[in-house]
Amino acid sequence: MANPQNYYEILKVPQDATLQEIKIAFRRLARQYHPDLHPNQPTATEQFKKICQAYEILSDSELRQEYDLKINTPVENYQTEPEKVYDQELENTLEYYNRVIARNPNYWPSYLKRAEVYYQLYKDSSVLEDCQTILRINPNSDQAYYYLGLARQRLGYTQSAIDAYTKAIQLSNQPQFYQHRGLAYEELENYSQSINDFRIAVNLYQKNQEFHYVSTLQRKIDSLLKQKEKTEKQWIKNIFEHTLGILYKFISASWLIIKHPLDGLLLAFMSLSKTQALMIGIIYGLMGLVIWNAIVILPTLNKIVLGLCSFVLLPVLSNLGRILSRSYGHLASDVFLGGFTSLLISIIFYLNLNPTQLPEAVLLTLTVILVLYLGYNLKNGYTQITNLPRPIAVFLTFSILSFMIYFLIVWL
């Protein structure tokens, strides 16, 4: 039987690919094949598993080196049957917990067990839903935050995953929480934090006499120390990142939004750290204020109030929605989505309230397109970026669009 694809072929990168190239390839393919994003593709789950397995090996320098030595070794009797049997067992377990939850929908440990099964089946959106349900019933479940972090990290929301792991750590000092937060920090190339978390995990594993994890983590720490030293020597790059880095991130995030009209906002957010998302959200909000100020028919005070209200109120609404639904999230996501939304709103009002040479039909068409684009990004942003439940996201989107259209009609 023919050998299976090697990991480089699965990620579609050359064997001499850099770590950054491997990360980019993984994120691109993860979105292309994630079963939650493509429920109608029957082969998506199997392909996504292969992608995750390939990334797990190739993103670790030591595991990758071992793999490279074995890459040309013939593989005999390659079988996928055991995997299929295991998946069927998981599906049976899932059915069992579905029945248990149907009988007692308020017993949160059943949701946790089901979330574990969902995670093994690569059904990350279902993991997120069950974790949110657990946290509504029991806000102090460290395991719910842990699985929330695992699912969000695999979906590509690395910074949000770190926040979830941090909540888990605050509730319980478990070594696996530090280990996975360290892996998330490594993805963001925050090597100091990653090394620190791995060292804490090593100490806790030793204390628990779980020595089989210690040697692997210690090798990872040594590898990261070398990588950190190499990175610190690139002082010119560091100067650029600290002075012009936010401008570069702003341009690249904005280009992603323009280049990918349907999911560009999510891709842009995923490419940013929490601080970068916060800063770029503020920049979008300030741009909106400038555009409001350019609307000549409105008094200056009205322009300032309207610009500030749209920029401040939108993050407040998403934060309030999370409080009411007991959902997990952070200020940076609220400000990022709020800033972008307030910028779009200001553009819509500017086009309609300022004198223009555009034909009325063209202006109307452009306005309708922008309003639909705003609604689409608001709804998706609330669910995917600020992590609001779908009913609240739909309600807020409908309310914001209704108020905006009302004022447009009144002022026109």
| Same domain, residue pair 290 and 330 | yes
Domain boundary (55, 70, 85) is at 70
Does 34 reside within a domain? yes
Does 19 reside within a domain? yes
| Same domain, residue pair 359 and 275 | yes
One digit per residue, the tens of pLDDT, for the chain of length 412 reads: 444 568 888 888 887 777 777 877 787 787 777 776 666 666 777 788 888 888 878 877 777 777 777 665 544 444 444 555 556 787 888 899 899 999 999 999 999 999 999 998 888 889 999 999 999 999 999 999 999 999 998 887 888 899 999 999 999 999 999 999 999 988 887 888 999 999 999 999 999 888 878 888 888 888 888 877 776 655 555 555 555 678 888 998 899 899 888 888 888 888 887 888 889 999 999 999 889 888 877 777 777 777 777 788 888 888 888 788 776 667 888 899 999 999 999 999 888 888 777 788 888 899 999 999 999 999 988 888 887 888 888 999 999 899 888 888 877 6
pLDDT of residue 2: 42
Domain interval for residue 33: 7-70
pLDDT of residue 292: 87
pLDDT of residue 37: 65
Does 286 reside within a domain? yes
* Tally of structural domains, the chain: 3
SS (H, E, C) the chain: CCCCCCHHHHHCCCCCCCHHHHHHHHHHHHHHHCCCCCCCCCCHHHHHHHHHHHHHHHCCHHHHHHHHHHCCCCCCCCCCHHHHHHHHHHHHHHHHHHHHHHHCCCCHHHHHHHHHHHHHCCCHHHHHHHHHHHHHHCCCCHHHHHHHHHHHHHHCCHHHHHHHHHHHHHHCCCHHHHHHHHHHHHHCCCHHHHHHHHHHHHHHHHHCCCCCCHHHHHHHHHHHHHHHHHHHCCHHHHHHHHHCHHHHHHHHHHHHHHHCCCCHHHHHHHCCCHHHHHHHHHHHHHHHHHHHHCCCCCCHHHHHHHHHHHHHHHHHHHHHHHHHHCCCCCHHHHHHHHHHHHHHHHHHHHHHHCCCCCCHHHHHHHHHHHHHHHHHHHHHHHHHCCCCCHHHHHHHHHHHHHHHHHHHHHHC
Prediction pTM value? 0.52
pLDDT of residue 164: 93
pLDDT of residue 77: 40
| Same domain, residue pair 289 and 200 | no
Does 2 reside within a domain? no
| Same domain, residue pair 396 and 335 | yes
pLDDT of residue 149: 94
| Same domain, residue pair 341 and 282 | yes
